[in-house]
Amino acid sequence: MRYLLNNSTDPYFNMALDEFCLENIVLEEPYFYLWRNRPSVIIGLNQNAYSEVNLGYLNANGITLARRVTGGGAVYHDLQNLNYTIVGWQAANDTAAPCASHPIRANGRCSVLPPAVTGPAVIAEALRQLGVPAELTGRNDIFVEGRKVSGYARRVSKQEIIHGTLMYDVDLDTLTHVLDTPGSKLQAKGIGSVKSRVANLKDYLPGFKSLDEVQAALQDILASGDCQMELTENQLSEVRRMADEKFSTWDFIYGRSRQADLVRSAKLPCGTVEASISLDRGLITDISFRGDFMFDEPATELESKLVGCRFEHDALASVLGKTDVSRFFRDTNSSDVLDLILT
């Protein structure tokens, strides 16, 4: 396959590049690129950021939240996770084929992929050529010895794009924390159980010293001797514009989130306060404060002021900063209430 080189670790640029290629670079044959993100959580196009991600943990640890153009669930990326994008496969041809005879290098690895292997199966086959006993399982996963090492999602527009992850040496503790939300799969199965179901490819690639080496080997196998493509400066400028004006914006990341209900609780100077919050498209549609705390007036006035407010730090801080919250929560300041609502 022909390929692009993408050295960006900015998740907003990388999400924009996926959409730009999907919509604007249509070739007769598929092409691919490998890339990485700085620590980030990437949610699917139709997911709710508030119910799928531990936003408090992300904010406290400087982890970026981004939304991609494909479906599927939330995933954690860091610099020890390798991502792949393949543009141009057709879903009707997305079937795996057994590894037929094909040229072998002196080091024992295949120099090209079997022609019949298409779609996500091409990644599983490439891993097998590196010595990993990878299997394509279910709708969107690659497993090794019963443990998940990769997931992928797809979208069809002018052509089809397949986007997936390959965990090499990902921080599994952080992975579990960022996706640990009430009612999540982690809550249902337990963090220990979830961690036992996933694996890092590093454990199966003892002959490689780093992800850089693995990436270079995969690049070689997937390219199969085909040539590099290059984007023009005008095309790169358009990708950057999309990153700035769409993919990094609150409206795209949070505003697409549909209805969600949250409950926050904290011990404040006034006592124990619980906030029940309803959201739709990132806006507060209802909020109520309950609990065992001291007050001079019921918080009805504050609740009314917060309805319609964006559920994000600056917007909430602006409303609370203009309000004497100590009337509703004795001896408590606006920062205390802000922390309660957000975390």
How many C-beta atoms surround the C-beta of residue 324 within 10 A? Answer: 12
| Structure letter (DSSP) for residue 343 | -
Tell me if residue 235 falls in helix, strand or coil.
helix
pLDDT at 100: 35
pLDDT the model gives residue 301:
95
Integer Cα distance of 35 and 79 in angstroms: 9
Same fold, 2-253 and 260-342: no
CATH number belonging to the domain at 260-342, selected among 3.40.50.620, 3.30.390.50, 3.40.50.1370, 3.90.960.10: 3.30.390.50
pLDDT of residue 261: 87
- pLDDT < 70: residue spans in the chain: 89-119, 138-140, 182-196
pLDDT of residue 258: 80
Whether domain 2-253 has CATH 3.30.70.980:
no
Are 270 and 329 in contact by the 8 Å Cβ rule? The answer is yes
Residue pair 111/225 in contact (Cβ under 8 Å)? The answer is: yes
The Cα–Cα gap between 275 and 250 comes to 23
Domain ranges of the chain: 2-253, 260-342
